Structures are given as C-alpha cells and as structure tokens.
Amino acid sequence: MWMEIDLQSEVPIYTQLVDQLIEGIASEQLKPGDPLPSVRSLAADLGINLHTVNKAYQVLKQDGFLQVHRKQGVVVQPGGMPGTDAAFRAKLARGIRSLAAEAAVRGMSETEFAEQSAAVYRQLTTKGEDAK
Amino acid sequence: MWMEIDLQSEVPIYTQLVDQLIEGIASEQLKPGDPLPSVRSLAADLGINLHTVNKAYQVLKQDGFLQVHRKQGVVVQPGGMPGTDAAFRAKLARGIRSLAAEAAVRGMSETEFAEQSAAVYRQLTTKGEDAK
Amino acid sequence: MWMEIDLQSEVPIYTQLVDQLIEGIASEQLKPGDPLPSVRSLAADLGINLHTVNKAYQVLKQDGFLQVHRKQGVVVQPGGMPGTDAAFRAKLARGIRSLAAEAAVRGMSETEFAEQSAAVYRQLTTKGEDAK
Amino acid sequence: MWMEIDLQSEVPIYTQLVDQLIEGIASEQLKPGDPLPSVRSLAADLGINLHTVNKAYQVLKQDGFLQVHRKQGVVVQPGGMPGTDAAFRAKLARGIRSLAAEAAVRGMSETEFAEQSAAVYRQLTTKGEDAK
DNA sequence: GTGGTCTAGACCACC
DNA sequence: GTGGTCTAGACCACA
C-alpha cells in the first residue's frame, strides 16, 4: 500500500489515513468502485491497530466517500462523490481563513497565496500521472 | 473585545483565540506595538479560564507574533512579523493539501479553489476597513 | 422472482429476504400452500449464497410462516398463519416504541404517526392488486 | 440513572442506550440543555465499558440530538431537535413496513395496527407525567 | 475472512 | 475530571 503514517505527528493517525485516502481519490489512484484493503490487512501493513483503520473507514463512509459492504469489504463510492454542500463550504472557508490569516501576517500576498493554493491542487490531481 | 468563542466547537478554545488574534493582525485591527488585554481581563470578558488565554498568548509568543513583558503586559510584536519560513510553508502546504484534496473529490475545479482562496484572503485583509 | 436485494444495505441479506417474503404473504402475492423456489434456484436468481437463502427459510419456518419438506421443497404455510401471540406483540411494541420515540422527538404528532402507520399497512396489503 | 440495559439481548448495548435516550427526550424526562452523565460515570452505573457509552453518545451527536462539549460533558441539544428529514422518513417507512407486514400476516387489522401505533406513541410521550 | 461489537486499560489534550 | 485517541485481544453475525 502507498500510504505512510507518521506516528510522531500531532495529527491523529485515523485523520492521516482519512486525508491520504481522500488524496488517493483526488489523484485518481483510487477510482470509484475500487476495493480497499480490509481493516485487518491495512492495519497489519501500517503496523497500527485495526480499530484505528476502522475509525478512518467509518468517517469516510459517513461522509459518503466509501461504501462498506457486509462481506466484500470496503470500496470507493461507486455512484459519484458527494458534492460541495453547505457543510463542506463552511469547513473549507474556516480552513482557508485560518491559513490565509497567518500567511497574510507573514507577508505573503494575495496572489502568492492563491497561486500556492492552485499549485497544491494541481500537484494533487496530477500525481496519478506518475503511476502510469 | 471583538472576539467570539464557540464553546460547542470541536476546535480547542485556545486555538480559536490564536486564530482570531492572528486574523486581527492580518486585518490591521491589531497593529505592531498595540497592547492586548491582560490574561485576567480577557479571560473574564470571554468567560473562560485564565489558563486558556495564557496558552493562546504563549503559542503566539512562541511563534513571534506577540511579546510578553513580565510587567507591562502583552503587545503585538512591534519589530516586524516573522516571515514565511520553511516551517510555515510546510504547515501551509499540509493544510492546503488536505482542503484541496477534498475540494477536488467533491468536484470543485482548480480555478474555483484558487478563487475561493483569494476571496477569503481578501475578505480577511479588508475587514479592518469597516472599523475605520 | 420479484425480490430485490440491496447488498449495500446495513440490514443483513437474509433479513431482507425474510422481510420481503413476509410482505409477499401480506400482499397475497404468496398464498397459503404456494410453492417457493428451491434454495438453489433462488440463490442463483439473486446472486447470493445458498446459506443465506437457507437461513431465511429456516427463520420463516421457525416462526411458522413456511413449511419445509425434505423432498417436495418449500411451501407457504397452508394451515393458517400464526396469530398475534405474546412474543410478537412484545416485538411489535418494541419496534414501534423505538420508531415512535424518534418520530416524537423530531416533531411528528401522534396522529401523523398513526396515519403514517395506517398508510404503510394499506399500501402493503393492496400492493397485490396491481399484479392481478 | 433511569436506564436499563439487557446484556442478553441481541440488540447491541449502544443501540439500547441510543433508544432509551431518545425515549427520554420524547417523554421530556430529558429536556433541551439538560446535562447527561459523563461516559465514565454512566458506564460505571450500568456496569458496561465506557467505549460503549461513548459510541451511543457519538451516534446521538451525529444525528443532532446531543452536543458534546469539550469539558462540561454532554448535554441534550439545546437549540431545537432535528426535524423529519428525508432520511428519517425513509427509515421510518422501512421500519413500519417490516412490522406492518408481519402484523398483517398474523391477522392484525389496519385499524388495530394504527391504534397500537398511536397507543405506544401516547404512552411514550406521557410517561414523563408520572415523574411529576 | 469480513466487519460489528464489547471489554480493558492506557495516555493525552483541554480546561 | 472531561472526552479523544490508541492499543490489544476477544467473540459474534454474516456470507
């Protein structure tokens, strides 16, 4: 598996997992319908507890990014991803505001900030190209 | 004081304080050298614990946004704000990556995302105009 | 066969089967004495496991809705259905209580709830009319 | 605490907790803003694990029935309960359909069924009167 | 073998 | 003291 966990990080392990799985979908390394490793095998691969993996899967299921089948395991949501609903836009605005404020204080200009945002977005969504 | 605390939020109170103080500096409602309320008075104003305010001030001092004098109290860093050092750029990239990935998955385009970033930045830095 | 299985559902497949067979009897699409498909053929039709179909049949046999003959196969109970015994009334009360409580909390009135119950009952028992 | 857990039941403990808490709100034994016991104390009271209590609280928080504060613990949602949204109406219809089908098969009439529904609803919402 | 549930015990951040 | 997170190990229902 192409995931990496930083056990020393202050950000919870399950959150790291959630982020990386979303990035995997964004970069099309994970496509709708693709199967994901079972909680047990992924936990073993990463050297963490299966409950931690399970929590990440539950969060993503809750948000509509994954489906958990009774027996076949976990798959990437096949029928289209959830859109930019109000909850997400609020979350996005909050996240950007916090980052933008500190960037502004540290002297980064509006265009620099916007370009940085665009650059990170582009890098993410074209990461999958390397794998081809 | 123009700060608002959401006790129900999942984000720690001291973090909300830190964010709002940084936003205050970004919008120039707080200028270099400006005095900040004492730990005691701010805590009383907001109805929160002394330790919580103190922690926020310590974090901001640590990052170089504030100066804490034993006797004269707390002031906004008078000698220029810290710049965009490597640590910040890393933190910024991480923050944006997480947001950008979810935005991409939810169908938001690169330009939409960049424009949203610019819009939030602009709104922040021009908020102070109202107060004039 | 007119049954539909939702593999993504959180409710077990065998429970979905049980429910739909009971609904079939309620709507008189299945009448006392009617033969049911063999475990093998139904499993094949629905693309599920033999054991799953078998478990559903066993549950229904246990409750007295079906008769399972070693050789002749499975038939809908010919000699009258079981009545509203104490066990069922308890199960019914438990089920309704859980639904009614959430309905009440969400602001649905008693009459609304009762009418919804009646409406669903009526829809079920008249569904068979279409097939005629 | 007025809750009772049946460890032998096939229904998960956390689900029993969820149901009873919703019933408590429906009967106004729990009013908006009321504090709930901490996960630790409730777990100790009921003789179960704190994680089990926590799961119940998380489910109810997710559905908007509870708020979890950082430190004051858990309280009943003060600002109005969630309404009868599409998700709930679907869940309600599914639940009633399953019960109504079996009731019909067992010979319970539509009016009996509707009256039983109304009776259970009324008993729930007037239970709080006893406590007065 | 899969996820779901439960237990037990631990450490941490927050306040 | 509160909830949040993580680990470890267990049993069960489902398929």
* Average pLDDT for D100-119: 97
**8 A C-beta contact, residue D93 and residue D51:** no
Residue B91 CA to E12 C1' — how many Å? 22
D70 touches strand E (CB under 7 A): yes
Residues C33 and C52: their CA atoms lie apart, in Å, by 23
Scanning the structure block, which residue is given the tokens 């102070």?
A: B128
For residue B26, pLDDT over 60 is answered with: yes
Query: What are the φ and ψ backbone dihedral angles of C67, each rounded to 5 degrees?
Result: -120, 135
Q: Which residues lie below 8 Å from residue A49, measured CB to CB, with a gap of 6+?
A: A43
CB of B30 nearer than 7 A to strand E: no
d(CA C87, CA C89): 6
Burial B58-87 (b: 16+ CB within 10 A, else e): ebbeebebbbeeeeeebbbbeeebeeeeee
- Do strands A73-76 and B66-69 pair parallel, antiparallel, or not at all (unpaired)? unpaired
CA atoms of B84 and A105, how far apart (whole Å):
9
List phi, psi (to 5°) of B109.
-80, 170
Cα–Cα–Cα angle for A50, A54, A59, rounded to 5 degrees = 155
B121 close to A113: Cβ distance less than 8 angstroms = yes
> Subunits with at least 3 CB pairs below 8 A relative to chain B?
A, D
Check whether A121 has a pLDDT greater than 50: yes
Q: Which residues have a Cβ under 8 Å from the Cβ of D37 and sit 6 or more positions away?
A: D1, D45, D73, D74
Nearest residue by alpha-carbon distance to C1' of E3: A70
> Taking CB atoms and an 8 Å limit, are C96 and D26 in contact across chains?
no
CB atoms < 10 A from the CB of A44, how many? 13
Which helix H or strand E contains D66, and what residues bound it?
A: strand D66-68
Interface list for chain D against chain B, based on CB atoms closer than 8 Å: 67, 69-70, 72
Neighbour-count burial for B8-20, b at 16+ CB within 10 Å, e otherwise: eeeeebbebbbbb
Q: Is the pLDDT of residue B132 over 50?
A: no
Contacts of A120 in chain B (CB under 8 A): 93, 96-97, 100
D67: helix, coil or strand?
strand
Residues of chain D in contact with residue C103, where contact means CB-CB under 8 angstroms, are: 84, 88, 92, 121
What is the reported pLDDT for C132?
44
Assess contact for A6 and A15: CB atoms under 8 A. Answer: no
Chain D residues whose beta carbon lies within 8 Å of the beta carbon of residue C95:
95, 98-99
Q: How many Å does it take to go from CA D73 to C1' F13? A: 34
User: What pLDDT sits at residue A129?
Assistant: 62
User: What is the overall mean pLDDT for chain D?
Assistant: 92
Confidence label for B127 from pLDDT (cuts 50, 70 and 90): low
Q: What are the CB-based long-range contacts (under 8 Å, 24+) for B58-63?
A: B59/B14, B59/B18, B60/B18, B60/B21, B60/B22
Q: How far apart are the first and last CA of chain D?
A: 17
Q: What is the C-alpha separation between D47 and D53, in angstroms, rounded?
A: 11
Selecting from A19, A84, A102 the residue whose C-beta is nearest the C-beta of B101 gives A19
Q: How far apart are CA D110 and CA D96, in angstroms?
A: 12
Q: How far apart are CA C42 and CA C54, in angstroms?
A: 10
Measured from the CB, is D17 under 7 Å from any atom of strand E?
Answer: no
**What are the pLDDT digits (tens) for B28-74?**
999 999 999 999 999 999 999 999 999 999 999 999 999 988 878 89
Residues in chain C: 132
CA of D6 to C1' of E9 (A): 24
DSSP letters, B22-71, are HHHHHTTSS-TT-EE--HHHHHHHHT--HHHHHHHHHHHHHTTSEEEETT
% of residues, chain C, pLDDT over 90: 80
Residue A99, pLDDT score: 97
Residues D4-44: tens digit of each pLDDT: 999 999 999 999 999 999 999 999 999 999 999 999 999 99
Q: Which residues of C touch A69 (CB under 8 A)?
A: 7-8
- Is the distance between the Cβ of A73 and the closest atom of strand E smaller than 7 Å? yes
Residue from the list C23, C97, C106 with its beta carbon closest to the beta carbon of D23: C97
Domains of chain C and any CATH numbers: 13-76 (1.10.10.10), 86-131 (no CATH)
In this structure, the strands spanning D66-68 and D74-76 are antiparallel
Residue C71 tokens, joined: 């050789």
Q: What confidence category does residue A38 fall into, taking pLDDT thresholds of 50, 70 and 90?
A: very high
Which pair of structure tokens corresponds to residue A2? 């192409």
Residue C109 to residue C115: CA distance in whole angstroms:
10
Flag whether pLDDT at C1 surpasses 70: no
